[in-house]
């Protein structure tokens, strides 16, 4: 998830790419275009695929679609196809916050309870700045959804996120102590935009960002029932071959929800240099990296990650929601960006963007491309121990978490424990007499009967409390 920009490539043969409507003139030479085509070669008219774009020096120098935006009707992806962008949306939410700071309507050091009083008082101040930089300690909404046994494609609203966040009795850590990516925080930033401005995030972004930049299609898609002409439908591979639709039909925005096209996103990308929206103040604010309470600076800025790729400074963010996979990788010193918008869950949008950058910027990189990080399919789950029948019996029962409003039932399956929860059954491995690991989570039993029976850690959430009910 990172982006910086590159310089102009050889401006040779003009390539006009066929698409549903007239594409902008291309200015990459034919050899470069063929090499980019090879990066996306696996996407065909019979498969979902990607829109790929290269922006240089204020122009779209390459924009092309690979694969189908709707495989039921065989509609090709084009540079004008609207995609849901997932977490690429966060930079727009953060920009809305920055504009409200410029307006004097909010301060970054404001306590978020000023705008979201529904949240519990954790005894520690959580500021707007903490939300922006993922240092709030608030548990991630999607991790809570998974742990509770709910489905990610249920019809969630912003109010549902606030309600679930308000059930949490504890934070993952003290605000400012750590960086831990939290979609909850960015949904709440959208709430703050609405409550501070009197306009929904969709309305505010339309008025202050999209309209000034001439982004007429782009919007925060806060109503999943709204039809959008030509939009890409997202897919995942189906068991046994073929595809299944994978579109999350929720109305949550802030953490995601941006809908835009390859062509329109270039207008936002160019604002990174011109400051048409927000001026120099916004441009500087966007690159302000978070600082932890111990003084350590983190890579995350205002909905953007600051880093480098092959020796060049890079600013980037990727996105993932349902079957959509997206990325915008910007090389500011070269005034070059590469964007990938894909509508299939097994597309590596970041890797595709970086491989495209390898082609476009070539010798401008000062370091060689890193070897692919291939993880072995045979990964050890770590050491385990065997429990006696009496030890397994002692851990069985029904356990309830008021923070998740969910019940886990632990059963003795002989030789192992299994956990039964809504929509899932999983086998637990005993790491020691108090610690059990399932698929992507860990249960830690208290050494005594006082307090919660066990706590659950799962990715971006920690310390969810469960008490025995039976």
CATH number, domain 86-364: 3.40.710.10
C-alpha torsion 113→119→121→126, nearest 10: -50
Q: pLDDT, tens digit, for every residue of 125-177?
A: 999 999 999 999 999 999 999 999 888 888 899 999 999 999 999 999 999 99
User: CA 40 to CA 244: how far, in whole Å?
Assistant: 21
Token pair for residue 198? 């009197």
Question: How confident is the model at residue 82, as a pLDDT?
Answer: 98
pLDDT at 24 over 70: no
Lowest-pLDDT choice from 48-57, 321-330, 416-425, 457-466: 416-425
* Residues ≥6 apart with Cβ < 8 Å to 260: 82, 83, 85, 215, 217, 218, 268
Token pair for residue 31? 């050899």
Question: How confident is the model at residue 99, as a pLDDT?
Answer: 98
User: CA 88 to CA 90: how far, in whole Å?
Assistant: 5
Q: pLDDT, tens digit, for every residue of 372-383?
A: 544 443 344 567
420 pLDDT tier (thresholds 50, 70, 90): very high
Question: How confident is the model at residue 450, as a pLDDT?
Answer: 65
Q: In what side-by-side order are the strands of the sheet with 83-84?
A: 83-84, 258-260, 219-220
437 pairs with which residues across the strands? Answer: 429, 442
Question: How confident is the model at residue 423, as a pLDDT?
Answer: 82
Question: How confident is the model at residue 11, as a pLDDT?
Answer: 23
Of the candidates 183, 253, 150, 228, the residue with the CA atom closest to the CA atom of residue 460: 183
Torsion angles phi and psi, residue 67, rounded to 5: 90, -170
pLDDT at 23 over 60: no
Torsion angles phi and psi, residue 148, rounded to 5: -80, -10
| Average pLDDT for 18-36 | 69
Q: pLDDT, tens digit, for every residue of 198-239?
A: 999 999 999 999 999 999 999 999 999 999 999 999 999 999
User: Structural domain boundaries of the chain?
Assistant: 86-364, 389-468
CB-based burial of residue 384 (10 Å sphere; 0-12 exposed, 13-18 middle, 19+ buried)?
A: middle
| Average pLDDT for 275-296 | 98
Question: How confident is the model at residue 236, as a pLDDT?
Answer: 98
| Average pLDDT for 190-197 | 98
* Residues ≥6 apart with Cβ < 8 Å to 18: none
Q: Give all strands (DSSP E) within 71-126, no chain letters.
A: 75-76, 83-84
CATH number, domain 389-468: 2.40.128.50
Q: pLDDT, tens digit, for every residue of 233-264?
A: 999 999 999 999 999 999 999 999 999 999 99
- Map residue 438 onto helix, strand or coil: coil
Question: How confident is the model at residue 451, as a pLDDT?
Answer: 66
What rounded mean pLDDT belongs to the chain? 91
User: CA 439 to CA 458: how far, in whole Å?
Assistant: 9
Radius of gyration of the chain (CA): 24
Question: How confident is the model at residue 3, as a pLDDT?
Answer: 34
Question: How confident is the model at residue 418, as a pLDDT?
Answer: 95
pLDDT at 346 over 50: yes
pLDDT at 15 over 80: no
């Amino acid at each position: 998830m990172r982006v910086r920009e590159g310089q102009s490539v050889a401006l040779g043969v003009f390539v006009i790419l066929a698409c549903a409507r007239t594409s902008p003139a291309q200015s990459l030479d034919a050899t470069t275009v063929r090499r980019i085509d090879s990066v996306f070669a696996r996407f065909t008219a019979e498969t979902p695929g990607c829109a790929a774009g290269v922006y240089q020096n204020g122009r779209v120098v390459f924009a092309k679609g690979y694969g189908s935006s709707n495989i039921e009707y065989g509609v090709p992806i084009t540079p004008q196809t609207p995609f849901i962008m997932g977490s690429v949306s966060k930079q727009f939410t953060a920009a809305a916050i920055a504009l409200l700071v410029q307006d004097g309507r909010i301060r970054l050091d404001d306590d978020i309870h000023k705008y979201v009083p529904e949240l519990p008082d954790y005894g520690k101040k959580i500021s707007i700045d903490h939300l922006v930089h993922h240092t709030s300690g608030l548990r991630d909404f999607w991790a809570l959804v998974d742990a509770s046994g709910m489905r990610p494609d249920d019809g969630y609203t912003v109010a549902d996120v606030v309600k679930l966040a308000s059930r949490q009795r504890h934070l993952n850590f003290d605000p400012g102590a750590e960086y831990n990516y939290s979609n909850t925080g960015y949904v709440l930033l959208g709430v703050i935009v609405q409550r501070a401005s009197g306009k929904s995030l969709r309305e505010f972004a339309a008025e202050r960002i999209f309209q000034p930049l001439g982004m007429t299609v782009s919007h925060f898609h806060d109503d999943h029932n709204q039809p959008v002409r030509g939009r890409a439908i997202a897919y995942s591979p189906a068991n046994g071959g073929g595809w299944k639709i994978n579109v999350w039909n929720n109305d949550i925005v802030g953490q995601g929800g941006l809908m835009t096209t390859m062509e329109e996103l270039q207008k936002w990308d160019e604002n990174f240099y011109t400051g048409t929206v927000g001026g120099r103040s916004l441009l500087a604010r966007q690159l302000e990296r978070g600082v932890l309470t111990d003084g350590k600076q983190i890579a995350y800025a205002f909905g953007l990650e600051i880093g480098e790729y092959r020796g060049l400074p890079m600013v980037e963010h990727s996105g993932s929601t349902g079957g959509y996979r997206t990325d915008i990788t910007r090389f500011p010193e070269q005034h070059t960006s590469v964007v990938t918008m894909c509508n299939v869950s097994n597309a590596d949008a970041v890797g595709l963007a970086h491989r495209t950058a390898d082609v476009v910027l070539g010798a401008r990189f000062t370091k060689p491309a890193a070897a692919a990080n291939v993880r072995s399919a045979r990964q050890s789950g770590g050491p385990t121990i065997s429990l006696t029948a009496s030890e397994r019996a002692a851990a069985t029962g029904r356990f309830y978490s008021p923070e998740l409003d969910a019940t886990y039932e632990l059963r003795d399956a002989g030789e192992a424990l299994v956990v039964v929860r809504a929509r899932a059954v999983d086998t637990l491995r005993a790491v020691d007499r108090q610690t059990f690991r399932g698929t992507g989570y860990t249960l830690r039993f208290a050494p005594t009967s006082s307090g919660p029976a066990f706590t659950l850690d799962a990715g971006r959430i920690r310390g969810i409390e469960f008490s025995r009910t039976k």
